[in-house]
Structure 1
Amino acid sequence: MRRLSFLSFQVLLLLLTYLSADNCRETCTSARPLNANSVDSVLDGAVRTTTLSTSQESIFEPIVEVETVESCANNYKNFKSRPHSVSITEFGAVGDGKTLNTHAFENAMFYLRTYADKGGVQLYIPAGRWLTGSIKLISHLTLFLENEATILGSQDLKDYPIIPGLPSYGRGRELPGPRHSSLINSEGLEDVVITGDNGTIDGQGAVWWSAFYNKTLDYTRGHLVELIDSKDILISNLTFRDSPFWTIHPVYCRNVVVKDMTILAPLDSPNTDGINPDSSQYVCIEDCYISVGDDAIAIKSGWDEYGTSYGMPSKHIDVRRIIVHSMTSAGIAFGSEMSGGISDVKVDHMIVYGARWGIRFKTGMGRGGYIRNITVNNVDMRSVRTAIAFTGNYGEHPDENWNRTDFPVIENILIENVVGENITQAGLFLGLPESPFHNIHLANIALDVKSESEDWNCSSVAGTYFFVWPQPCPDFTKEELMT
């Protein structure tokens, strides 16, 4: 296939930029993390406008820049400041980075329950390094971390109680049987805020990663933050780093907002996904920077026969203005655990750099379920190996009881307004012959693919394209005019 010259690519990129701007002129903004100027602005859900720093502008040139910043968080509960505040030091906690404060946090949660009918309460974490094992939150609580406050996860695995596997997984995700609890966790709660003045929650995950690599784990690792069967959740304006496993995992949740977050882990750390909504509905993820060792964002809904039986989909999810870096995995992923179904997801304004995949859909025989009604819009990729990947051969299963005839359905997917520089492969679409991917639509896409690389690899897929370079494989039919 004939390649674009550098000049031709720049002309095509300018035209695509114009089309992208015209297509979303009223609502789009540049992809970037926003830094809150005050806690009240976070808790009151205010719409703010910020600008990129000089260093960011030198690296990223957004597809379109406008002044208005729309927030999907405005569609959810308006979280306000609590009328009461108590410091963790009042329960005997010591912020020296050495004293184990698990009991102080347990005592605080027990006492603070009394504020549930009084407008709730804020647990204030002042500057210091607060070492603790697993913390179980309560309803109507704001966990607030001051600017130089760090909650440190204990490096003793015994400080993380063993709990049952999730019913939609049937076991621990890594190993059969139960699993470790997460550093920060909740179940059956409502009205929970985890926020601060850019404080930090550090999972100190290296000890977990070492145990994983050395195969000395007896149970599946816990996450940094896991929220189970909870609603009205806000996580904002903090740095999360070095999770043992996935970083933020809302599962069976409703009305969840994750915004203004920095999520970090070494690029070679195992399975340190950034944000994984799982069998959850009405989720808003916006204005975050994520650099981790696995998928930056992965939307899930249960694993094989357990996910199908549990039957709780992930749906009504908005992802916007995200910058991601993931050398080993994807910027945004759907699956592979998607047996309960994934639908009605909108991804808008994402910058992906140095990733193995830019946009990835992953599933396999035995998954069942569906991924449908997905829109991915305005994505800027830099140095990505495969820009768009749909793979139907993801074959890991929880046990031998998976259904060999339970095939996933992947349909009604729109990917538009995508630009990429230094791309190794434009697209990979490997569907299942028994259940081909269909109604896949590609529009306004310009990718600067390395000359020695294969542009597209396709099988068992059908769709359409409009204004896409390099030209997709014959499995996609050209549309003369977008409707």
Structure 2
Amino acid sequence: MIMKPIEVIVVIFGVLILNGVECRKGRILNDSILEYSAISCRAHSASIVDYGGVGDGKTLNTQAFKQAVDHLSQYASDGGAQLFVPAGNWLTGSFNLTSHFTLYLHKDAVLLASQDITTWPVVDPLPSYGHGRDAAGGSNVIIQRVTIIAPVTSPNTDGINPDSCTNTRIEDTYIISGDDCIAVKSGWDEYGIKYGMPTKQLIIRRLTCISPYSAAIALGSEMSGGIQDVRAEDITAIHTESAVRIKTGIGRGGYVKDIFVKGMDLHTMKWVFWITGNYGSHADNNYDPNALPEIKGINYRDVVAENVTMAARLEGISGDPFTGICMSNVTIGMAKKAKKYPWTCVDVAGVTSGVVPPPCELLPDQGGEKLEMCKFPSDSLAIDSVELQKCSLTMN
């Protein structure tokens, strides 16, 4: 049975919260009790070994996790439950979490993904992607201090995908991926437009990304429900195809607007800025060719990059230009074999200040004080004001 992921907590010597999901550092009180902070403490607890789990790196634990989650779900209305995963290497396929539930990993516990494709069944898509289970998006999501490592040659291994989420905070994460390290989404074509659940008020802080074939942060391509008020700062990307990429196309509809990026340290990449208006894949043939996306208010400032092949590739849609692009205090060091023309700009409009190498004519330099350009919001979002409780866990 698939349940809505409400106030799920995954703990890695702390917590990963979904609709309250956080990953926070814990404090050991003695040999068996750990104190940590979380949005909600749980009244019941159990260990994966109680359900036959074996952390030897060889035994498949998929059924143990499924049985544990199913059994502990009965406490959802009685203070919730937490499942403790001791130190060890826990081989598993996919399993679903449930409501009012904490998955707590010891600091020396590692979840290993099974390499047997049959342990990863295809799940029905969300209604915003065509058809399938009825599940709302996340509200009050905190993800902290999470390390995700996938082979860089593996396709579609996005690190974290906030999809149709409101008030989300992702910070202090380290991701190696064969796809986007963080991909922000909100539904696909006519289904996303109809479902109408945007991703908004998203904070991304202190991300380190390695992704040779994709982006550190991607917005889209499934963005038909809208993406708004994304704030990213202190981003480090190494050997990554692009820093920030916006992906959309005719038939998507929706919008990507009020995007703010500040403080990027970039090393070896193909493009720093990439906005694509010709991303042509569709859920089916029922999309509306007149559904044009709105891309505006895209702000970048305080960026330093080195060994870059091309500064920017900015491609809007004919008759639907992408507007309000702002870049300030950007220094891009070009690679020895860089493209002759570092900027490509088509069907876009915006302004720049203090950008090296000089941008294209569609992004004219305004001169003046760089500090006044492309300002990062000074107000706080609600997710930064979430009050956490002090919890404790007995480690069996």
In the superposition, the TM-score normalised over structure 1's length comes to 0.66
2:304 equivalent to 1:344: no
* 1:24 alignment partner in structure 2: none
2:219 equivalent to 1:259: no
CA-to-aligned-CA distance 1:138-193 (integer Å, 9 cap, x gap)? 2222111223333344444444455422211116xxxxxx7xxxxxxxx88xxxxx
* 2:192 alignment partner in structure 1: 307
Give the 3-state SS of the residue equivalent to 2:128 in structure 1: coil
* 1:280 alignment partner in structure 2: 165
Q: Could you tell me which amino acid in structure 2 is paired with residue 392 of structure 1?
A: G
* 2:178 alignment partner in structure 1: 293
Matches of 2:249 and 2:21, distance apart in 1: 42
CA-to-aligned-CA distance 1:363-422 (integer Å, 9 cap, x gap)? 111111110001011001111111111111111111112211211111011111101111
* 1:459 alignment partner in structure 2: 346
Is the Cα–Cα contact under 8 Å of residues 366 and 404 in structure 1 kept in the other structure?
yes
* 1:125 alignment partner in structure 2: 85
2:384 equivalent to 1:478: no
Matches of 2:167 and 2:21, distance apart in 1: 19
Q: In the superposition, relative to structure 1, how do residues 149 and 308 fare at CA in structure 2: closer, same or farther (>3 Å)?
A: same
Shift of 1:280: 1.2
The sequence identity of aligned pairs, in percent, is 43
CA-to-aligned-CA distance 1:424-468 (integer Å, 9 cap, x gap)? 111111111121011111111011123642211111111011111
- Aligned residue pair count: 345
Matches of 1:127 and 1:269, distance apart in 2: 27
* 2:393 alignment partner in structure 1: none
Alignment of 1:326-345 (within 5 A): 326-345=211-230
CA-to-aligned-CA distance 1:37-79 (integer Å, 9 cap, x gap)? 964999998999xxxxxxxxxxxxxxxxxxxxxxxxxxxx942
Structure 1 unaligned spans of 5+: 1-35, 49-76, 172-177, 179-186, 189-227, 230-251
Among 73, 90, 102, the alignment partner of 1:113 is 73
Matches of 1:398 and 1:44, distance apart in 2: 30
Matches of 1:38 and 1:291, distance apart in 2: 21
Q: In the superposition, relative to structure 1, how do residues 304 and 351 fare at CA in structure 2: closer, same or farther (>3 Å)?
A: same
Give the 3-state SS of the residue equivalent to 2:228 in structure 1: strand
Q: Could you tell me which amino acid in structure 1 is paired with residue 130 of structure 2?
A: G
Higher relative CO (CA 8 A, sep ≥ 6), structure 1 or 2?
Answer: 2
Give the 3-state SS of the residue equivalent to 1:385 in structure 2: strand
Is the Cα–Cα contact under 8 Å of residues 278 and 317 in structure 2 kept in the other structure?
yes
Matches of 1:474 and 1:428, distance apart in 2: 13
Matches of 2:270 and 2:99, distance apart in 1: 43
Alignment of 1:349-428 (within 5 A): 349-428=234-313
Is the Cα–Cα contact under 8 Å of residues 40 and 81 in structure 1 kept in the other structure?
no
Q: Could you tell me which amino acid in structure 2 is paired with residue 463 of structure 1?
A: G
Quote the RMSD (CA, aligned, Å): 2.8
Alignment of 1:24-43 (within 5 A): 39=14
Matches of 2:52 and 2:242, distance apart in 1: 47
Q: Indicate the structure with greater helix content.
A: 1
Alignment of 1:410-449 (within 5 A): 410-449=295-334
Is the Cα–Cα contact under 8 Å of residues 88 and 125 in structure 1 kept in the other structure?
yes
Give the 3-state SS of the residue equivalent to 2:325 in structure 1: strand
* 1:320 alignment partner in structure 2: 205
Alignment of 1:61-72 (within 5 A): none
Q: Could you tell me which amino acid in structure 1 is paired with residue 64 of structure 2?
A: A
Q: Indicate the structure with greater strand content.
A: 2
Matches of 1:44 and 1:94, distance apart in 2: 26
Alignment of 1:71-110 (within 5 A): 78-110=38-70
Matches of 2:80 and 2:269, distance apart in 1: 45
Shift of 1:347: 0.4
Matches of 1:41 and 1:106, distance apart in 2: 19
Give the 3-state SS of the residue equivalent to 2:359 in structure 1: coil
Is the Cα–Cα contact under 8 Å of residues 343 and 360 in structure 2 kept in the other structure?
yes
Structure 2 unaligned spans of 5+: 1-10, 26-36, 373-396
Give the 3-state SS of the residue equivalent to 1:372 in structure 2: strand
Matches of 1:258 and 1:44, distance apart in 2: 6
In the superposition, the TM-score normalised over structure 2's length comes to 0.80
Is the Cα–Cα contact under 8 Å of residues 44 and 80 in structure 1 kept in the other structure?
no
Q: Could you tell me which amino acid in structure 1 is paired with residue 313 of structure 2?
A: L
Matches of 2:123 and 2:355, distance apart in 1: 49
* 1:25 alignment partner in structure 2: none
Q: Could you tell me which amino acid in structure 1 is paired with residue 224 of structure 2?
A: S
Q: Could you tell me which amino acid in structure 2 is paired with residue 130 of structure 1?
A: W
Matches of 1:267 and 1:433, distance apart in 2: 34
